[in-house]
Amino acid sequence: MYDISNNFKWNVYDAAVAKKLLELEGTPEAIKYFAEKSEGLTNYGYWFFLSTLWVSYSGYSDLNLWKSLFGSDRPGKKKSLMKPSEVKAYDQLGWFVTAYRAHRKNESDWISYTLNKETAFRFAKERGADSIKEYKIKKRDITALFLRRSEDEIIVLDKGNVQFIREHIAVSEAISISPWNQDNGYICLPLKSNIPDPEHKDWKLVYCPSCGKECWESELARKILKNPNMKSACTMCSLRKGIKVRGENYDT
C-alpha cells in the first residue's frame, strides 16, 4: 500500500495549487505561494502540501511564516501533516522525548530537532559547529514527526516549551587525527578489531598500508588523504610512527 493518509481526497483547487508548487519546489517562492493560496485549500491539501514543502526545502526562509502556517488550527492536522508511518511512530513516542539540535551561529529561534544524536552531529559538521544541544521535550508540544529524510525530525513551534539538558561536544574526529605537520602527518584509522560494528555510514573498510590489518576510513580521512603529504595507518601503526617522529626507536 502507498504511505498516504486516507484523508486524501483530490480537489480541483488543490490540484491547481499543487501544480504550481511543483514548479516552485526547492525555491523560497514555494512557501510564499502556498501562504497566499492556502485559504482555499482543503484541510488535507493544506497539511499535506505544508509538510511536503517543509521536507523538500533546504534553504533559508522566514521562520515566522513557517511557524504561523504550522500553527494553524485547521482540523486533521496530525493525520494529514504526517504520513501513516509517521503517525504510527509518533504514537509510539513516550510522554517525554530526548531530542538534539545543532545550532547555527547566533541562532535566536528554531523549530526543528532530531531524535538522533548522530544526525545532529552530522548537521553540526555541515554548520561548522563543534557541539550539539540536548533537550527534553513533552510529546504534547510536538507538532509533527517527519521520518522522510531519514533525519528523525520533530517540529516544536515554541522553543519556550523545551528544556535544555546538556551540551555534547564532538570529539571523535578530532582525536582520530594523529600529529600532522606539513610534510609528515598520519591519519589514524580505527582498527576493525577495536570497533567491529561502527555506526558511521561513511566508514569504509580498508587495509592498513603498514601492517595490513583491517581498519576504517572515514569521509574526513578520505578528504585529508587527498593531500599527498598525508599518509594513513591503523591506530597501532600511527601510534608507533608518532612515537618515532619524536625521535624514539620503534619499529614501524
Least Cβ distance, residue 174 to Zn ion (angstroms) = 21
Could you give the count of Cα atoms lying within 13 Å of 35 in the half-sphere of its Cβ? 17
DSSP letter for each residue of 66-79: HHHHHT---TTHHH
C-alpha distances out from residue 77 to 9, 71, 250, Å: 15, 10, 66
Provide the b/e sequence for 198-209 (b: ≥16 CB within 10 Å).
eebeebeebebe
Least Cβ distance, residue 210 to Zn ion (angstroms) = 4
Please give the grid coordinates belonging to residue 206: 580498508
By DSSP bridging, strand 230-234 and strand 184-189 are: parallel
- Given a contact cutoff of 8 angstroms between Cβ atoms, the answer to whether 243 and 250 are in contact is yes
Least Cβ distance, residue 214 to Zn ion (angstroms) = 10
Least Cβ distance, residue 215 to Zn ion (angstroms) = 7
Distance CA 153, CA 134 (A): 14
Residues comprising the chain, all counted: 252
Least Cβ distance, residue 218 to Zn ion (angstroms) = 16
Distance CA 175, CA 238 (A): 12
Beta carbon nearer to Zn ion, 157 or 211: 211
Site residues (vs Zn ion, CB under 5 A): 208, 210-211, 234, 237
Least Cβ distance, residue 227 to Zn ion (angstroms) = 20
Beta carbon nearer to Zn ion, 155 or 237: 237
Beta carbon nearer to Zn ion, 30 or 237: 237
Beta carbon nearer to Zn ion, 17 or 208: 208
Distance CA 14, CA 41 (A): 6
Please give the backbone phi and psi of residue 7, each rounded to the nearest 5 degrees, phi first. Answer: -75, -5
